[in-house]
Structure 1
Amino acid sequence: MTSQAPVETSGANPEFPETMRRFMERLGFGAKPDRAFPLTGGVSSDIWFVEAKGRRLCIKRALPALRVAADWRAPVERNHFEYAWFQRVAKILPDAVPPLVGHDEAAQMFAMAFLEPEANPLWKRNLLDGKVDPAFAGLVGEKLAAIHAATAGDPKTAADFATDASFHAIRLEPYLEATGRVHADLMPQIEKLVATTAATRLALAHGDISPKNILIGPKGPIFLDAECAWYGDPAFDLAFCLNHLLLKCIPVPGGVDRLAQSFERMVMAYRGRIVWEDPPGFERRCAALLPGLLLARVDGKSPAEYITQDKDREFVRSVARPLIAEPVATLLEVRNRWLQRFR
């Protein structure tokens, strides 16, 4: 949904919001920052770069309606849970989240350190530029599994992130249910995916594990944008990220082999760290969900912006639809079906 993309919006900049100004003052940065401008890349929140008293920060405020073509609304309280996800994960993997500065519960906004892009490039940008590193994908799988393992079966974390309604509004409805309305013949299978995902409560999920929300930090991946944080099915996180590695083959055809290797490295790194349930059962659930997410990125409410040609949309449908109708047992089988048709 967002990233710490260090790009100033084009044209005349709006005034620094008064609520953010007051927030900065309460945090001890004074009433007037040295520099402030909105960042690009966010559809679900207002995100501002702020420089004050020698510190460079990001301030993020949740929006009630997302900036997309479809009517997509979500509770602003997700900002609270995003901040709480960062706090929880900082205790597990301190280097995997941005340093936090403060939270304004009433205004549903928080401040975090701005991570300099030269030292922390955005993974999505690298992938689209053809810089595909399978080893880094393996690190993402490793760190993601560590978060899931550390929170699995934890009653307090489950109570703190009982965000089922928000997760439905931000993920299950706009991705899967909306896609089912387009592909009515697959609605029973898609409804089953929704029901299984909604009913599975095993660990703390991020909900938007995407290359646009992962920085390549000096010490490994840094996760951003945890607005969809939810105590639920960890398979959703892995499937959501693997989905992007397959889809990137379309704009980066020269990187297909390395993207395929990245997919496998992530699966292997993650699968070897599943301790909270039977690994084959987890993988069957993940492999069933992945084609639904593939189809959602061409026919749901949040289509991938780099898939612009009808022939490419039809290609995605040609792979995803049969796999939704008849799910396979392993993630590598999903990948292999994709590669067979792509090549």
Structure 2
Amino acid sequence: MPAVLQAMPPEMIEGLRAMGLLAPDAMAEGEPLSGGVSSDIWRVVLPDGREICIKRALAKLKVAADWRAPVIRNRYEARWLARAAEAAPCSVPRLLGQHEATGTLAMEWLPPAEHPVWKARLRDGHADAGFAAEVGRRIARIHSHAARNPTLSADFPTDQLFHAIRLEPYLVATARAHPDLAAPLTALVARTAATKFTLVHGDVSPKNILVGPRGPVFIDAECAWWGDPAFDLAFCLNHLLLKCLWTPRAAGAYLTCFEALATAYLAGVQWEAPATLEFRAASLLPGLLLARVDGKSPVEYLTDDADKDRVRRVARALLLAPPDRLRTVRAAWGDEIGA
């Protein structure tokens, strides 16, 4: 059944006009989309029938905790989209415009029927190791492209923003929940913040990866930052571990995807020794794992206390004895869940 179009928020109409996508005296209707916690997102039908996507960053994110972030992050998402398109053209939606005064960003509309969300596919047990490997390859390609162009760092002065929407709600908040782990978690924060190699997406999660006809498409780069590429790798791999508890029957396949993504990504690392990056990713991963049950942004599908305790048990042990290889994390998790 076709969606019923609605009148759009005035800020979005103003943004569309400022971006030259809507005539000054014209109006547009749209459909609000669900799924995001940090922005209002709409499918827009322009007067000429074209469909586009527009999003407006929120100052307070839609989570239970009091989590606020500057709406200027919209500017850096637009810049990330432009740079990623240079590195891997079919891996991001086409950027159509961005308007800072209204906090709006417009991009190509990708129909869900042709671009399902990877998270939904994984939830249903469809774990394609070939697709996971391509996710790893494309993220490495984007990282490599930016690392070869270090002057891009000036376009991403987002250290404070990245701390506000990634390091604080994940690692710092988790340290407050686990005071005995404050030292290793604080050390991870400091190391991550100080590592500056390339352009980082900051939210490489299955909910932000579409399964497109030509492979993975990355969206929602609101956390764009010039920093440590190991964060993107660890952040995505973390979700493949957690999915084992969401759809247990596919746990073995998720772990195969974990291995495929990590292997493909590390094969594309050119800006530093792959083993050095792997060490940072492997030692960061337990902190991110624990954060998804005890930080400000717990995953919504882990509601069983026994499952949460499994996460805590593995993550705490690895934080106290940091691994230097991703396979160590995968083995510890596999032992815990029997996969």
TM (normalized to structure 1)? 0.94
Where 2:303 maps in the other structure, the secondary structure is: coil
Distance 1:296 1:25, change over 3 A: same
Where 2:173 maps in the other structure, the secondary structure is: helix
Aligned residue in 2 for 1:29: 22
Whether 1:49 aligns to 2:43 is yes
CA contact (8 A) 1:123 1:214 kept: yes
Where 1:204 maps in the other structure, the secondary structure is: strand
> Given residue 273 of structure 1, which amino acid in structure 2 is its aligned partner?
G
User: Over the residues paired in the alignment, what is the CA RMSD in angstroms?
Assistant: 1.5
CA contact (8 A) 2:14 2:102 kept: no
Distance 1:28 1:162, change over 3 A: closer
> Given residue 165 of structure 2, which amino acid in structure 1 is its aligned partner?
I
Whether 1:227 aligns to 2:222 is yes
- The CA deviation at 1:91 is 1.0
The counterpart of 1:167, out of the listed 155, 162, 171, is 162
Where 1:248 maps in the other structure, the secondary structure is: helix
Where 2:222 maps in the other structure, the secondary structure is: coil
The counterpart of 1:74, out of the listed 66, 69, 72, is 69
Aligned residue in 2 for 1:273: 268
- The CA deviation at 1:176 is 0.3
Equivalent residues in 2 for 1:321-340, closer than 5 Å: 321-340=316-335
Where 1:305 maps in the other structure, the secondary structure is: coil
> Given residue 16 of structure 1, which amino acid in structure 2 is its aligned partner?
M
* Alpha-carbon separation, structure 1, partners of 2:157 and 2:16: 30
Misfit runs of 4+, over 4 Å: 12-15
* Alpha-carbon separation, structure 1, partners of 2:57 and 2:317: 37
- The CA deviation at 1:153 is 5.2
Q: Deviations over 1:185-239 (max 9, x none)?
A: 0000000000000000001000000000000111111000000000000000000
CA contact (8 A) 1:153 1:202 kept: no
Whether 1:200 aligns to 2:195 is yes
Aligned residue in 1 for 2:12: 20
- The CA deviation at 1:14 is 7.2
- The CA deviation at 1:37 is 2.2
- The CA deviation at 1:251 is 1.1
Aligned residue in 2 for 1:105: 100
- The CA deviation at 1:155 is 2.9
- The CA deviation at 1:25 is 3.2
Aligned residue in 2 for 1:3: none
> Given residue 86 of structure 1, which amino acid in structure 2 is its aligned partner?
L
Aligned residue in 2 for 1:4: none
CA contact (8 A) 2:84 2:142 kept: yes
* Alpha-carbon separation, structure 2, partners of 1:275 and 1:165: 27
> Given residue 216 of structure 2, which amino acid in structure 1 is its aligned partner?
P
* Alpha-carbon separation, structure 2, partners of 1:255 and 1:28: 44
Aligned residue in 1 for 2:254: 259
> Given residue 60 of structure 1, which amino acid in structure 2 is its aligned partner?
K
- Give aligned pairs, total: 333
Whether 1:40 aligns to 2:34 is yes
Q: Which runs of 5+ in 2 are unaligned?
A: none
* Alpha-carbon separation, structure 2, partners of 1:171 and 1:24: 29
Where 1:59 maps in the other structure, the secondary structure is: strand
* Alpha-carbon separation, structure 2, partners of 1:328 and 1:315: 18
> Given residue 44 of structure 2, which amino acid in structure 1 is its aligned partner?
V
